[in-house]
Amino acid sequence: MSAFPDLHPETLSAAQRTELELLARGRQDRSRTMRELNQPETPLAAHALLLRLGLWDESRVPFPDRLGVELQTPTLDVPELPLEPRLDLTHLPALAIDDEGNRDPDDALSLEVLEGGMRRLWVHVADVAALVTPDSPLDLEARRRGSTLYLPTHIVGMLPDALVERLGLGLRPQSPALSISIDFDASGQAESVDVHLTTLKVERVSYAQAQARLDAGDPLLTQLFELAKSSRSLREAEGAVTISLPEVLLKVVDGDIRITPLQPYDTRFIVQECMTLAGWAAAIFADDLELALPFATQDPPHRDSPPGNSVPAQWARRKTLSRTRFQPRLGPHSGMGLDAYAQATSPMRRYLDLVVHQQLRAAILEQDTLTGKDIAARVAESQMSSASVRTAERETRRHWTLALMNRTPQRAYEALVVERRGPQATLLIPELALDTTFTTPAPLGSVLRVQTAGVDLAAQTVRVREVTG
């Protein structure tokens, strides 16, 4: 209030409040009220003023609105599943491993032992393309959104809830899937790949539950773990860049902000590696059929990667990576150490994964497929929307993290110095997965204890002070 000593909430008319809110939400770009106060006519300045006047509090989060992303899940009609021949895999155990409380299970794992020491990895993915065909109303809506929006308070689906309820793996006694298979020889080398439309019986488990099974020697998870370790070793030998930085699960329930560090379960590693293998197999399968996909490619690092696996080294290593590009022709993905890759395991929540499934389905059923030009157009349209979704998610997570710090100024955190630029250091607070700048002579890798010194929710910044004891 000090910047506006004569301004009080009651001095603003209803029209002025509305005008300020529209500017803060990015719904208009001019404000007579801000001009009269000699303030910038920007969403950030309007947001800051609304907070200072007490007209908004921390519960008002304008970033998704400001970015123009959809804030309601679509409610379009969902068609019935077509009658199609499917490979019956209900005899195989299939595990859908997710975070506790996951509402859109779209992948599951099976492992089949073959003759001669061969093993067949099955990565089952919800058969979303069975109901979302190219250029249908559901497809056009998903393309416009780009991806599902995951906010700490709620989830805004890319596709209707009714579709997720019908196709989510393990949500019904039997689940239709598009299943990608990879055959490995006794030494762990991939020999062949295939794609099938299947029917499954899926068991849903959390990462913690699956980890308990793995620790107890569960045969399926033990073999998957060995396969995943072998795959990671082969990819790293081809230059794959592995980065492991702190991650958290952030939820806001009835105003209660809950931040839980994600445990580095081996089962999380298993799922990540198997999903990577499925993406490689989908790309190889498509290339063999000369099928256009939104292939994911990445150039080699633009500078040498720092050695070691310390957190500062991994922080710096992440900045050496080029941005992943999506294109209708095959190309290597340097960061993954793969000669071919396509994101193929999340068609419920990423539009380009859905396009991959539409193409694979069409090829299996010997139907017309999209051209490379069609794929390029879909990439261009959906990427604009999905980039806004990712930014909205990132800014909203930061908002609620700063809100928690603002609520608990006496709480002390361990902070790691991960980068230095002159007197300024970048601190990473692992238990919040939050970074901020701080003036300190402490060298890289130092651990400081800090407390909140001030939070600016509008600017999304936090000041910290070092504490001892």
Q: How far apart are CA 276 and CA 278, in angstroms?
A: 5
Phi and psi at residue 77, in whole multiples of 5°? -65, 145
What was the pLDDT predicted at 5? 56
Per-residue pLDDT of the chain (469 residues; tens, 9 = 90+): 345 556 778 788 999 999 999 999 999 999 999 999 999 999 999 999 999 999 999 999 999 999 999 999 999 999 999 999 999 999 999 999 999 878 889 999 999 999 888 999 999 999 999 999 999 999 999 999 999 999 999 999 999 999 999 999 999 999 999 999 999 998 888 999 999 999 999 999 999 999 999 999 999 999 999 999 999 999 999 989 888 899 999 999 999 999 999 999 999 999 999 999 999 999 999 999 999 999 999 998 877 777 788 999 999 999 888 899 999 999 999 999 999 999 999 999 999 999 999 999 999 999 999 999 999 999 999 999 999 999 999 999 999 999 999 999 999 999 999 999 999 999 999 999 999 999 999 999 999 999 999 999 999 999 999 998 6
Ranges of each domain in the chain: 9-56, 87-399, 408-466
Structure tokens at 341: 């890759």
169 near 62, Cβ under 8 Å? no
388 near 326, Cβ under 8 Å? no
pLDDT in tens, 82-135: 999 999 999 999 999 999 878 889 999 999 999 888 999 999 999 999 999 999
pLDDT in tens, 12-25: 899 999 999 999 99
DSSP letter for each residue of 246-297: --EEEEEETTEEEEEEPP--HHHHHHHHHHHHHHHHHHHHHHHTT----EEE
Domains 9-56 and 408-466 share a fold: no
Q: Which CATH number fits domain 408-466: 3.40.50.1100, 3.30.70.100, 2.160.10.10, 2.40.50.140?
A: 2.40.50.140
Quote the pTM value: 0.94
Q: Could you tell me which CATH number the domain at 9-56 has?
A: 1.10.10.10
143 near 378, Cβ under 8 Å? yes
What was the pLDDT predicted at 328? 96
pLDDT in tens, 168-181: 999 999 999 999 99
What was the pLDDT predicted at 8? 78
- Give which of 394, 437, 408, 448 is closest to 247, Cα–Cα: 394
Using CB atoms within 10 A of its CB, is residue 144 exposed (0-12), middle (13-18) or buried (19+)?
Answer: middle
DSSP structural state of residue 339: S
Using CB atoms within 10 A of its CB, is residue 181 exposed (0-12), middle (13-18) or buried (19+)?
Answer: buried
